[in-house]
Amino acid sequence: MLNEMDRTERLKLMKFVCSFAWADLQVRTAERAFVAQLIRRLNLDDDDKKQVREWLEVPPAPETVDPTQIPVEHRVAFLDEIEGVVISDGEIAPEERENLELLRELLV
């Protein structure tokens, strides 16, 4: 499914993943490793990698992360990758759990 996304959709996915990494107000080493692996899987170019690194330093603005903009055909993939970053550090903070459940409700 990931290989069916165009560049815009891949960046949108990364923006969501990074915003969820920030849900507990810190991006842990395991979350950074998950993001790095996803960057490789998506074959992002250098400009896109730079953008993602910026999102790991400063979270994307909340108004730019709109679940209604996730294409219907990619919603399951988005949820899978977002859940992956949330559980990557072995802990699910209450904020992460709440945000993930809200997103799931909006998309399913």
pLDDT digits over 19-75, tens only?
A: 999 998 999 999 999 999 999 999 999 999 999 999 999 999 999 999 999 999 999
CATH topology of domain 2-107: TerB-like (1.10.3680)
Counted residue by residue, the chain has a size of 108
Indicate the pTM of the whole model: 0.93
Say how far apart CA 57 and CA 71 lie, in whole Å. 26
Say how far apart CA 4 and CA 10 lie, in whole Å. 9
| Tens digits of residue pLDDT in 83-108 | 999 999 998 989 899 999 999 999 88
